[in-house]
Structure 1
Amino acid sequence: MKYFIGEFATLVSLSAHTLRYYEKEQLLIVERDTGGRRYYTEKDVTWILFIKKLKETGMSIKEIKKGQD
């Protein structure tokens, strides 16, 4: 299933601004449709929920990014 940013933000309880920030920080690699609109998949849902759990433990974005390397 594909979700556009507004519906994805609601689904994962984050703001569209936060999602764009995560994309800018390369925590998310977001697909785009032929019109250039971002869309997210079930894989992205799983990944964001994992990021949220890491954030709940007190990890910073910088630490999460370092763990991706």
Structure 2
Amino acid sequence: MANITKKFIEKVLHDRIVDTKQYRYRVNESTGCIEKIPIEYLDTTKAQEEWEQVEDLSNLLTLH
């Protein structure tokens, strides 16, 4: 998994979806993880299955 900052995790948790120049990050509530996908995959069929898990929130959600 990628090493993302606590501040960025908090932003994704608050906003639910965050876009950067290269990726879209989202909270997947069914898995309890933050996931990312390359921006160029949005609005394609890859957006349905190509999400990469970058942070497991299961231990953070109890603190939030």
Using CA pairs under 8 Å that are at least 6 residues apart, name the structure with larger relative contact order, 1 or 2.
Answer: 1
Tell me the TM-score normalized by structure 1. Answer: 0.30
More helix per residue:
1
More strand per residue:
2
Tell me the TM-score normalized by structure 2. Answer: 0.31
